[in-house]
Amino acid sequence: MNKAGKFTVGIALIFEIILLVHGLTALWQKQWPDLGLSALAMATILVPWLLHYLANRVHLKLPPGFVMAGVVFIFLAQYLGEIRKFYQTFWWWDIFLHGLFGVLAVLFALYMLQSNLKKQGQLSKARFTLFLALLSLCFAMACSAAWELFEYMGDIVLPVKMVKGGLEDTMSDLFSGSLTALLTAAGYYFLWRFMHRDKTRI
């Protein structure tokens, strides 16, 4: 059902080779935090592929470009952000990624809900659209919280430090992801209302 093209496979392979080389270099130089980050990044890049496989097993259609988007995003966050120190070099990098994540999570949820849920009974189309927007927002906020848990658990299990600013870092990440998710969900709903303004009823 879901297919990943050769270009996506090639990009993922290039990213994995880059991470492997960095990990081996860190091992040779006994840079254990960098080795841990490399291993973590190599593992997380496989997550979109795992979700792709599971979706095909249960015949669930994923958004076009899902694997590519996931692989690129993880590379931006783990390799450029953590390993190449973009989080320290560019003050806005963390906010940018969490904000982008909020947008992508809402778009993903909207696609999945529209593909698998059908309006029933006397529920108006406007209310159904509002329901989709709210559910997508909740999904995105839950994913943002899961990301923070991932960073916290990574710091516990591996010799890394992804949660750099404590509570302030965590809350700013959640806020930026939740804000962009809210704007995306609201934009979807009000755009639909505008496009159907002549026949919309709540």
Q: Can you tell me the mean pLDDT for 164-179?
A: 84
Q: Can you tell me the mean pLDDT for 5-29?
A: 91
Q: How high is the pLDDT of residue 107? A: 94
Q: How high is the pLDDT of residue 115? A: 81
* Measured distance CA(197)–CA(160) in Å, rounded: 52
Find the radius of gyration of the CA atoms of the chain. 19
Of 14-23, 84-93, 121-130, 136-145, which gets the smallest average pLDDT? 121-130
Of 80-84, 108-112, 146-150, which gets the smallest average pLDDT? 146-150
Which of 54-58, 111-115, 131-135 is the most confident on average?
131-135
DSSP class per residue in 131-199: HHHHHHHHHHHHHHHHHHHHHHHHHHHSS-----SHHHHHHHHHHHHHHHHHHHHHHHHHHHHHHTTTS
Per-residue pLDDT at 72 exceeds 90 = yes
Q: How high is the pLDDT of residue 201? A: 56
Per-residue pLDDT at 202 exceeds 80 = no
pLDDT tens for 85-127 read: 898 899 899 999 999 999 999 999 999 888 877 766 666 788 8
* Measured distance CA(100)–CA(78) in Å, rounded: 15
- What's the length of the chain? 202
